[in-house]
Amino acid sequence: MSDHDPADRPASNPTIVFAASFTTPDPRLTERCLVAMQAFVARAGGEAVPGVASGVTEGVIAQFGDAVSAARCAVRASVELRKLSAQQGDRGALALHVGLAAGDPGEAVRLRDAAAPGEILVTPKIGQAVEGQVDVEKVDIRGRRDPQGRPVEGFALTPSLTGLVFRYMPWTTPGRRKFGLIVAAILIVIGILGMLFN
């Protein structure tokens, strides 16, 4: 797998570097996925640079102004590209790999290369920044190594069930769900008190 050399890109801090690649045996699906990934990145406010690939692997490297936007883009891309694969009758054939790092394209690419199919790997700093802001489950990847055998640190993010069911609509964010639960609990208590005093 090869991309434009991330080191050739001008440094502009603070940025979150988003490195994503996907593999599929269908060249037509590859082109559609690349276009879809670039659209996800642009809509999320990222600045994308198309990857240069060998074989059936394609990818993008982009920069975002904050970790939450980058993580939301990765989650949305993961879900939508999975749907695209299913529509083509290639369920399981499309493999998306994403790495997110703060300001270091090389680290984002290493995380991407260490990611299992469908995984979003992030640095510890990004993992902390997105806690409670993005509807994902976080798993420590301590002990994981990249394809060259170098250790990688951080977290694997996977979309939570609620996010998958509601397709990441704004009301499914963790803060809004918590608020909704509090309001529901208050209404239940008021209802019970009303029944007791009638």
pLDDT-derived band of residue 93, with 50, 70 and 90 as boundaries? low
Tell whether 173 is covered by a domain: yes
Strand order of the β-sheet with 155-159 is 47-50, 57-64, 16-23, 95-102, 120-122, 155-159, 136-140
Backbone angles phi, psi at 24, to 5 degrees: -160, 145
For residue 29, tell me if it sits in a domain. yes
Both tokens assigned to 104 = 């270091």
Give 7's pLDDT tier (boundaries 50, 70, 90). Answer: very low
pLDDT (mean) for 71-82: 85
Enclosing domain of residue 91: 6-167
The reported pLDDT for the residue numbered 14 is: 61
Say how far apart CA 127 and CA 188 lie, in whole Å.
35
Q: How confident is the model at residue 13 (pLDDT cuts 50, 70, 90)?
A: very low
- Which carries the bigger pLDDT value, residue 125 or residue 167? 125
The number of domains in the chain is: 2
Side chain identity at 115, as an amino acid letter? A
- Residue 89 confidence class, pLDDT cut points 50, 70, 90: low
27-44 pLDDT, tens digit each: 777 777 788 888 888 888
For 33, the token pair is: 């996925």
CA quadruple 185, 161, 15, 128: dihedral sign:
positive
> Would you place residue 4 in the very low, low, confident or very high pLDDT band (cuts 50, 70, 90)?
very low
Shared domain check, 151 and 117: yes
User: 155-159 and 120-122: which strand pairing?
Assistant: antiparallel
For the question of whether the overall pTM of this predicted structure is more than 0.85, the answer is no
d(CA 75, CA 128): 16
Q: Say yes or no to pLDDT of 169 above 60.
A: no
Residues 75 and 159 in one domain: yes
In a domain, 49, yes or no: yes
Residue 85 token pair: 């694969």
pLDDT tens digits, residue range 104-118? 888 998 999 999 888
> Do 41 and 103 fall into the same domain?
yes
